[in-house]
Chains A and B, each alone.
Chain A
Amino acid sequence: MTTESTVTPQVMQQQRDRQAQQDRLRRWLTEAPAYALLGAFSLSAILALIWVLLMSLRPVKELFTYGAWALPKEWTLQNYVDAWREMRVGQYFFNTVLYSVVGTVGSVFLAACTAYILARVKFPGRNFIYYLFLISLMIPGYLAMVPRYFLMKNLGLVDTYLVIFLIAWTGGLSFNLFLLINFFETLPTELEESALIDGANAWQIFWDIMLPLARPGLATVAIFMFMGQWNEFMTPLIYLRDASKYPLALGLQILSFGSTYSATYTKLFAGMMLFIIPILVIYLVFKRQITEGLTVGALKG
């Protein structure tokens, strides 16, 4: 008697559970291929990095004795030490940091100044200059490769740090301007007006009022410039001669294929890790800005 009244909710509960279970199962079944595909790709990216890491932690002789699939039997950091010192990866690393930081700071500053003028100041010829800057977006970089090389050569700039900076500063200018002008245009005028009334001069208006407001836009530009500079390959390939000025991308290329260091794969893998880690950390820290900035950049351009 008492059982009947208690069983019914239990049965209902069981039915509900079963229903929910079936739903879960169905959902899981429909989503399984999605998970499989996405998972496989994600795994390939992660495993590739782990493989490079493992390879960099074993002596080279082991690689040839046990093959690429074997885990290191003897763990060593010697490859990193050798790569850093002997193979000049330390020098390349320093150069890469220099090119990335100076290239980024310079081009962001240049683009911010220029974008501010073009976005907020009315003066004769403004539109003409604006379009002049945008022309470059249409032209593939290879067109000017040879004339620009000889321009730099005649200026005595080939094989200097400055040439890398100059090309970084001007290379991304058009695109950065395009992004930042759009950004500055969205800022309200009232702030500038009231700053002027408070006695600020033009520089103060720009530096103290507008630039802080433009920070999100500047951050986007900066992150992209930095990642681009970190990975830059062609400019140093064309303009640099002296290996002591090479960035990592070019230095590793030389280490990999120059017969000087053949068969020192594990050291090369150590060099690769040193190249990957900073950019990976930056990516994981600034993930949101990078993914958002990316879509802003690409979809507008």
Chain B
Amino acid sequence: MLQRELRKLVIPFLGPSLALYLVIGLWPNLEAFYWALTEYDGLAPIQTYVGLENFSTMLADRRWWGAVNNTIYFAIGTIITLLPISLLFAILIMSVRRGREFFKTTIYIPSILSVVIVAFLWVFLLDSTIGLFNPALKALGLTEPLKQLLGVNSLNWLGHPKLAKPTIVLIQLWQGLGFYTLLFLAGLAKIPGELLDAARIDGAAGWGLFRHITWPLLFPTTQTVLLLLIINGVQIFTLVYALSGGGISPLTQVMATYIYRTAFTDRLFGYATALSVFLMAVVMALTIVSRELTKREAIEM
């Protein structure tokens, strides 16, 4: 009865969304596999089929592999900084007695800001002329020691080849920390309090408590965080784009920005799509691999 009545809604409710989704959401994805085999400059009336030529061009394109390299650097750099630090911050927030709400609130502020805003903020903070950072270092007499420590001849944070990539990783850390800390906090909140109390009565404390109780129970959260970091890391675009105003130097060029430039600046639409097919394959492979790896470890626990 109810079902028969409700079925009246199937066409009017499902129809529009399914139509929109199929045409705008899904179909272009399928079309992409054809586009990847063609050459098109957006001007000519003809889209030429070129077979696998785009992929062989890709293999020989050193700018692309430079971008792939940088992307890997950013993804790994973000994982090895964000994952442990956000976990640490979550535990610290749980452990403090006062100001828990305050810390939760403020720590998440960078994450709600637009990436564009975060990028501007850091461009200006780090600028040697109008920024806060370098004048402060100079006033404290830290400029020279820092230069020696880092082995650079200038504290050109976003331009020096030794500094540009780590700086971007740190900016990502600053922006992402709140988000991932809150994820870990949610994971920690799921751990039953009795379990921790029981473990404490049994004499577990500090590192032992973490190693044997918290960490294994937090594992599903860690797995999620890792997956998010990988997927988001490989697809990084806006931060790199906004930090450089579109004139991205090869020092920080990443896969997504290179695909965008190939398509909309160089107007090699077919080639750009071939590159994005490659990007998709990478994302899928990494997703599967990380799922498999963490699954095995979870069983060991």
Q: Which residues of A approach B to under 8 Å, CB–CB? A: 27, 31, 34-35, 37-39, 41-42, 44-46, 48-49, 51-52, 55, 63-64, 67-69, 110-111, 113-114, 116-118, 120-123, 129, 132-133, 135-136, 138-151, 166-167, 169-171, 173-174, 189, 192-193, 196, 201-203, 205-206, 227, 230-231, 233-234, 238, 248-250, 252-253, 256-257, 265, 268, 272, 275-276, 279-280, 283-284, 287, 290-291, 294-295, 298-299
Contacts and interface: CB of A to CB of B under 8 A. Distances in A.
Given A166-B20, A173-B25, A34 B92 contact: yes
28 contacts: A34-B96, A35-B99, A37-B92, A64-B130, A68-B132, A68-B135, A69-B132, A111-B17, A121-B7, A122-B3, A136-B21, A140-B276, A142-B280, A143-B276, A173-B21, A193-B2, A202-B6, A202-B7, A230-B114, A231-B115, A233-B114, A233-B116, A283-B109, A283-B112, A290-B112, A295-B183, A295-B185, A299-B220
Given A139-B280, A231-B116, A233-B116, 8 more contacts: A31-B97, A64-B130, A121-B6, A138-B287, A142-B279, A144-B32, A252-B120, A299-B221
Interface in B1-50: 1-3, 5-10, 13-14, 16-18, 20-21, 23-29, 31-32, 35
A63 B238 CA distance: 28
A147 B28 contact: yes
B273 A45 contact: no
B136 interface: yes
Contacts of B7: 121, 123, 202
Contact of B263 (A113, A145, A248, A280): A145
Contacts of B163: none
Contacts of B6: 117, 120-121, 192, 202, 205
Task: Give the residue among B28, B97, B107, B264 with the most A Cβ atoms within 10 A.
Answer: B28
Given A38-B89, A135-B26, A294 B17 contact: no
The 4 closest A-B pairs by CB, nearest first: A257-B245, A295-B186, A144-B28, A231-B114
B40 to A, nearest CB: 8
Contacts of B108: 283, 291
A112 B270 CA distance: 37
B263 A249 contact: no
Given A146-B272, A170-B24, A299-B221, A206 B9 contact: yes
Given A117-B14, A132-B26, A257-B246, A140 B116 contact: no
Nearest to A64: B130
A139 to B, nearest CB: 6
Contacts of A291: 104, 108, 182
Contact of B120 (A63, A132, A231, A256): A256
Contact of B112 (A135, A141, A227): A227
B256 interface: yes
Interface string B136-156: 100000000000000000000
B207 interface: no
A64 B130 CA distance: 7
Interface residues of B, number: 97
A196 B276 contact: no
Contact of A110 (B16, B97, B280, B284): B16
Nearest to A301: B224
B22 to A, nearest CB: 8
A30 B4 CA distance: 64
B226 interface: no
A295 B182 contact: yes
Task: Give the residue among B35, B123, B131, B220 with the most A Cβ atoms within 10 A.
Answer: B35
A55 B263 CA distance: 37
A121 B3 CA distance: 6
Contacts of A284: 105
A139 B29 contact: yes
Given A68-B130, A166-B24, A174-B25, A121 B10 contact: yes
A249 B26 contact: no
Contact of B21 (A52, A69, A133, A138): A133
Contacts of B187: 299
